[in-house]
Structure formats: C-alpha cells, structure tokens
Amino acid sequence: MKEIQEEAKAVLRKAQEDIKKYTDRKREEIEEYAVGNLVLLSTKDSKYQMVGRWLKKFTKRFVGLY
C-alpha cells in the first residue's frame, strides 16, 4: 500500500511540475511601481459602470492619470 502511495505522489508531483512549466510560459514579469509613477485606473468593476448596459457602453475604460 505504501509503495502505491509513493508512486501516486511521484506522479502527482510530476503533473504539478508540468502544469507549472506550461503556465509560466505565458506569464510576464511584474512591473514594479514607485511613488510618483502615473497610472491609469480601470473602470471595469466600478459601481457606475455596472448600473446598466447603456451606461456601460458610453463610459470610459480607464480613468485619469493618478
């Protein structure tokens, strides 16, 4: 029983490594932000964007440089 358990753990570990390898191919490095940098804020999840479909259509996707 322990032999089967160890074999199963090895197979799962290899599967995790494979998944991580393929997932990491598409990931990018995170950009570091510092105090004083200008950024745009997304309005995707803001409340006024969610009020209605017609409003969503006419609002900006990003707001200001903050």
pLDDT in tens, 27-54: 888 888 888 888 888 877 776 555 555 5
Are the C-beta atoms of 61 and 43 separated by less than 8 Å?
yes
Query: How many domains would you assign to the chain?
Result: 1
User: What is the pLDDT at residue 49?
Assistant: 54
d(C-alpha 47, C-alpha 65), whole Å = 20
> 5 vs 29, which has greater pLDDT?
5
User: What is the pLDDT at residue 47?
Assistant: 66
Domain holding 42, by residue range, is 2-65
SS3 63: strand
**50, HSE (Cβ side, Cα atoms, 13 Å):** 4
Picking from 39, 40, 36, 38, the residue whose alpha carbon sits closest to that of residue 63 is: 40
Asked if pLDDT for residue 65 goes beyond 60, the answer is yes
Per residue in 9-25, pLDDT (tens digit) is 999 999 999 999 999 99
